[in-house]
Amino acid sequence: MKILVLYSGELGKKVIQNLINPGNFCVSCGELCNHCRQARKSYANLIVGIHEFPQDLPSFIEEPEQYMPPKLPECDLILAIGIHPDLLTALPDVVKKTKAKAVIAPAEDSKKTPAGILEQLKKELEAIGVEFEGPKPFCALEKTGKPVIDAFVDLGFGKPVLRIEMSPDGKMFTGAGVLRDAPCGSTWFVAKKLGWTDTAEYKETISGAHHSYPCTASMDKDPQLGDTILHKAGYIIREAVEDGIECAKKEKARLSAVCVDDISSSSF
């Protein structure tokens, strides 16, 4: 897969760093870092181009193609992150020039990425056979049966999935592993902050870690969600931890049942 990143703002920088996975990207553990992310593959080789747009563009851009770079590489997937809404409208032309098969344009702020523009973009792209997703926020991205976008999720980016480890009495988190990371990389941060904390206080632990990462989603109320996108992102990582807890409990029950069966079969 060949990925082209067009971005403006902090989220785009984090997504790029998460894809590349440099050694200094995660600062969750500070001086106690055990370099756990080194085991995760870098996808720097998949990135064929990066272009950052300035954040101080005019509020209205009459000819957005003038702001597009003159030369863009051929690619399979375009990540359009936080770019000016008028530049979003120019993406169908960019798709034709780059021969892209899919576009992901996450919405972290409904004012900067209006739902109406995303819907129009979706119609235009799908009309020419190009996959499109506009997750709100980016960490809401899931597999939907669209081959190129699903392949991106399969790399390990999208709606978070965690493996949770707890003490035998279930009162403490002893560890957490990331099976699928939020595109911004926050899942690793939250996972490390969970270690050796009280399971009864998991909501507070998650909230504190999620805010201090920090999440870049807007704190303004989104008309479609009826809530802030920041809160939506918080609910998503909380749900991922809760799902991980349930899986850990089921696995513990399964192993307990196996042990009971083994003891019963070996008794005289």
Task: Tell me, yes or no, whether 104 and 166 share the same domain.
Answer: no
The answer to whether 191 and 176 have CB atoms below 8 angstroms apart is yes
Contacts of 114 (CB under 8 A, 6+ apart): 85
- Is 133 in the same domain as 248? no
Domain termination residue (choose one: 154, 174, 197): 154
Number of domains into which the chain is organized: 2
Backbone angles phi and psi of 221, in degrees to 5: -65, 130
Residues 83 and 184 in one domain: no
On whether both 202 and 247 belong to a single domain, the answer is: yes
59 and 82: one domain? yes
Answer yes or no: do 42 and 58 share one domain.
Answer: yes
- Report mean pLDDT in 10-residue bins for the chain, 268 residues: 97 97 84 82 97 94 92 97 96 97 97 95 98 98 98 98 96 96 96 95 97 95 96 98 96 74 51
Question: Which residues does 169 contact at the CB level (< 8 Å), separation at least 6?
Answer: none
Q: Residue 17's pLDDT is what? A: 97
Domain that holds residue 38: 3-154
Residues 73 and 176 in one domain: no
Residues 244 and 126 in one domain: no
Going 169 to 262 to 243 to 102, the CA torsion angle's sign is positive
DSSP 189-215: HHHHHHTTSBGGGHHHHHHHHHHHTT-
Which domain-ending residue is among 128, 154, 180? 154
CA distance 5 to 72: 10
Give CA–CA dist 103/137, Å, rounded. 15
In this structure, the answer to whether residues 181 and 252 fall within a common structural domain is yes
| Domain-ending residue, one of 104, 124, 154 | 154
Q: Going by C-beta distance under 8 Å and a sequence separation of 6 or more, which residues neighbour residue 211?
A: 234
Q: Measured between alpha carbons, how far is 178 from 163 in angstroms, rounded to an integer?
A: 6
Work out the end-to-end distance of the chain between its first and last CA atoms, rounded to an integer number of angstroms: 60
- CATH label of the domain that carries residue 12: 3.40.50
Residue in 131, 149, 127 with CA at minimum distance from that of residue 140: 149
- Strand segments, DSSP code E, in 129-223 are 131-133, 161-166, 173-180, 221-222
Please choose, from the candidates 217, 166, 156, the residue with its C-alpha nearest in 3D space to the C-alpha of residue 187: 156
Q: 94 with 75, same domain?
A: yes
**This prediction's pTM:** 0.93
For 168, the token pair is 């035998």
Residue 258: per-residue pLDDT: 61
Nearest-angstrom CA–CA distance, 249 and 52: 45
Q: What are the tokens at 155? A: 């790399």
Q: Are 146 and 216 found together in one domain?
A: no
Tell me what pLDDT residue 259 has: 61
Same-domain status, 11 and 124: yes
